[in-house]
Structure 1
Amino acid sequence: MVRYISSLLPKAFRSGIPETFNSSDRDLCLVCDVNLEESAFYIRTKICPDCRFHYSMTARERIDFLADQGSFKEINRSLVSLDPLSFSSRTSYRDRLFSDQKRTGLTEAVVTGTCTIDGISCMLAILDFGFLGGTMGCVVGEKVSLAFERAAKMKIPVISVVTSGGSRIQEGVLSLMQMAKTSVASNHLNEKGIPYISILANPATGQAYASFANLADIILAEPGAIVGYNPISNITNNEESFGENTHTAESHLDHGLVDAVAERTELKGIVSVLLDLLQKEFKIYSSSANRHVSRTYEASGAWHSVQLARHTSRPTSMDLMARMMDNFVELHGDRMYGDDPSIVCGLGQIGGQTVIVIGQERGHRGNLDIDRREGRTMPEGFRKAQRAISIAQKFELPVISFIDTPGANLSAEAENRGLGNSIASTMALLSGISVPTLSAVIGEGGSAGALALGATDRVIMLENAIYSAVSPEEAAEIIYQDEDKVEEVAESLKLTALDCEELGIVDQVIPEPDG
Structure 2
Amino acid sequence: MVRKLTERLMSFLSDQSEAPLLTDEDEIEYCLSCSHKLIESELYQIYRVCPSCRFHHNLTAREHIDAIIDEGSFREFNKAIISTGSLSFSSRPPQRKKLAREQRLTGLTEAVVTGKCLIGGQAAIILSLDFRFVSGSLGGIVGEKVALAFERATRTKLPVIAFITSGRTIVKENIMSTMQMAKVTFAINDLASKGLPYVAILGNPTTGHIYSSLARPADIIIAEPQALLGLAPLKGQLSDQDHIDVNNTYTSSAYMSRGMVDRIEDRENIRNLLSVFLRIASSTMRPKRTSNSKKDNIAELSQSNQAGHLGLNGQTLEELWPQSWNAVGISRSSDRPTSLDHIKRGFTNFIELHGDRLYGDDPSIVAGLGFIGNNAIGIIGHEKGHELTAWQRRGGRTMPEGYRKAQRLMSLAGKLRLPLITLIDTPGPYYGRESEERGIGDSIASTMSLMAQYPAPTIAAVIGEGGSEGALALGIADRVMMLENARYSITIPVSAAETLHSDLPKEEIYTEPLTLTARECRELGIIDVIIREPVDGAGRHPDEASVYLTGGLQHELNILLKRNSYRLPRNRYRKYRKIGEYSSYFKIAVAAEASQLQGFVTRGVRLMRKRRRAGKISQKPDKSS
TM-score scaled by length of structure 1: 0.89
> Among residues 128, 135, 138, which one is paired with 1:136 in the alignment?
138
Distance 1:340 1:16 in 2: 34
Q: 1:507 to 1:398 in 2, by over 3 A?
A: same
Residue 312 of structure 1 aligns with which residue? 334
Structure 1 residue 85, shift from structure 2 partner: 3.1
Structure 1 residue 110, shift from structure 2 partner: 0.6
- Does 239-248 or 478-487 show the bigger shift? 478-487
Tell me the C-alpha RMSD between the 2 structures: 2.4
Structure 1 residue 147, shift from structure 2 partner: 0.2
> Among residues 433, 444, 463, which one is paired with 2:454 in the alignment?
433
> Among residues 7, 10, 13, which one is paired with 2:10 in the alignment?
13
SS for the counterpart of 2:123 is strand
Q: 1:513 to 1:19 in 2, by over 3 A?
A: farther
SS for the counterpart of 2:147 is helix
SS for the counterpart of 1:183 is helix
SS for the counterpart of 1:8 is helix
> Among residues 516, 534, 537, which one is paired with 1:495 in the alignment?
516
Q: Among all aligned residue pairs of Structure 1 and Structure 2, give the percentage whose two residues are the same amino acid.
A: 47
Counterpart of 1:13, as a letter, is M
TM-superposition CA deviations, 1:194-223 (whole Å, max 9, x none): 121110000011111101211111110100
Structure 1 residue 65, shift from structure 2 partner: 0.8
Distance 2:59 2:214 in 1: 20
Distance 1:209 1:103 in 2: 25
Distance 1:442 1:130 in 2: 52
> Among residues 495, 502, 505, which one is paired with 1:474 in the alignment?
495
> Among residues 334, 338, 347, which one is paired with 2:360 in the alignment?
338
Q: 1:224 to 1:19 in 2, by over 3 A?
A: farther
SS for the counterpart of 1:187 is helix
Q: Contact 1:118 / 1:272 at 8 angstroms: preserved in 2? A: yes
Counterpart of 1:60, as a letter, is R
Matched, 1:361 2:383: yes
- Does 65-74 or 340-349 show the bigger shift? 65-74
- Does 253-262 or 87-96 show the bigger shift? 87-96
Residue 397 of structure 1 aligns with which residue? 418
Residue 204 of structure 1 aligns with which residue? 206
Q: Contact 2:13 / 2:167 at 8 angstroms: preserved in 1? A: no
Counterpart of 1:263, as a letter, is D
Residue 52 of structure 2 aligns with which residue? 50
Structure 1 residue 472, shift from structure 2 partner: 2.2
Counterpart of 1:188, as a letter, is D
Counterpart of 1:320, as a letter, is H
Residue 35 of structure 1 aligns with which residue? 37
Distance 1:199 1:6 in 2: 25
Residue 102 of structure 1 aligns with which residue? 104
Counterpart of 1:350, as a letter, is I
Residue 428 of structure 2 aligns with which residue? 407
Structure 1 residue 398, shift from structure 2 partner: 0.6
- Does 231-240 or 308-317 show the bigger shift? 231-240
TM-superposition CA deviations, 1:343-386 (whole Å, max 9, x none): 00100101110111100001112337x70011110000000000
Q: Contact 2:12 / 2:135 at 8 angstroms: preserved in 1? A: no
Counterpart of 1:347, as a letter, is L
- Map 1:174-193 → 2, pairs under 5 A: 174-193=176-195
Distance 1:282 1:16 in 2: 47
- Map 1:109-148 → 2, pairs under 5 A: 109-148=111-150
Counterpart of 1:260, as a letter, is R
Distance 1:93 1:77 in 2: 21
Structure 1 residue 280, shift from structure 2 partner: 2.6
SS for the counterpart of 2:371 is strand
Residue 482 of structure 2 aligns with which residue? 461
SS for the counterpart of 2:158 is coil
SS for the counterpart of 1:215 is coil
Which ranges in structure 2 are unaligned for 5 or more consecutive residues? 289-329, 537-625
Distance 1:396 1:411 in 2: 36
Matched, 1:256 2:259: yes
Q: Contact 1:476 / 1:483 at 8 angstroms: preserved in 2? A: no
Q: Contact 1:227 / 1:247 at 8 angstroms: preserved in 2? A: yes
TM-score scaled by length of structure 2: 0.74
Q: How many residues align?
A: 486
Distance 1:222 1:215 in 2: 18
